[in-house]
Amino acid sequence: MAIDAYKLALDKSGSDDDYCQFQQGICLGLLEKRTEQIDVFESFVTRFVKSPYRDDAFFELGNAYMAENMADEAISTFDKLTIEYPNNGYQARALLNIGLMYYNSDRNNEAVATYKEVVNLYPGTAAAKEAIAIARKVYIDLGQVNEYADWVSGIDFVDISTGSLDSSAYKAAEKVFVTNDYEKSITAFSDYLERYANGFFALQAHFYRAQ
């Protein structure tokens, strides 16, 4: 197997040790041996400080942490990648991954801040559009769709339709309703109706607010 060949090459030691250890980590990932993969890449970023593969190793290590739901470790690793290698091709994806880890850890405000950073740093790119799409979900969870609408209205490379904002605002109010917090539900549906009096979901909003 390839992984055994790379391990044997490392045992012999040589000028291409960094390449061999990096490939060993990649192979372990393909075999879904995450714990071993993490060990290999943790060792790599410490051992090969000047290796041309070190930024790649940071990225793969962060992905391995994500696969194991080790959010804090993943965030820390991607942070190091963005700080130590500010001009490489992983920047946007690393920030998106940080945002996702924040979101999955219920650190929604930090997730929003990270997605906004992606939009500001990489306007008009696929990464920025992905950040806007995921930020929409976070804002819905926060019940802050009006803030989302205000934010995207100032972004010149996206065209968010009124219907999409209407739907997002209603979903945010509905999420509050299903928690059985009726006082907050009344406020949420009232906010929706104030902003979208003739909205697509106005009838349902009036109905739920009256419950």
DSSP code string of 132-177: HHHHHHHHHHHT-HHHHHHHHTT-TT----HHHHHHHHHHHHHHHH
Helix ranges restricted to H, the chain: 2-12, 17-30, 34-47, 54-67, 71-84, 91-104, 108-121, 126-142, 145-152, 162-177, 182-195, 202-210
pTM here is 0.78
User: What confidence score (pLDDT) does residue 109 get?
Assistant: 96
Task: Give the whole-angstrom CA distance, residue 33 versus residue 25.
Answer: 9
Contact 107, 72 (CB under 8 A): no
User: What confidence score (pLDDT) does residue 128 get?
Assistant: 94
User: What confidence score (pLDDT) does residue 52 get?
Assistant: 95
Task: Tell me which of 15-19, 30-34, 108-112 is least confident.
Answer: 15-19
Task: Give the whole-angstrom CA distance, residue 17 versus residue 6.
Answer: 9
Q: Predicted confidence band at 174 (pLDDT cuts at 50, 70, 90)? A: confident
Over the stretch 137-150, which tens digit does the pLDDT of each residue have?
Answer: 899 888 888 888 88
Average pLDDT estimate for 131-139? 92
Residue positions counted in the chain: 211
The rounded percent of the chain whose pLDDT value lies above 70 is 77
Task: Give the whole-angstrom CA distance, residue 28 versus residue 39.
Answer: 10
Exposure string (b/e) for 79-116, b if CB count within 10 Å is 16 or more? Answer: ebbbeebeeeebbbbbbbbbbbbbbeeebbebbbebbb
Average pLDDT estimate for 89-107? 96
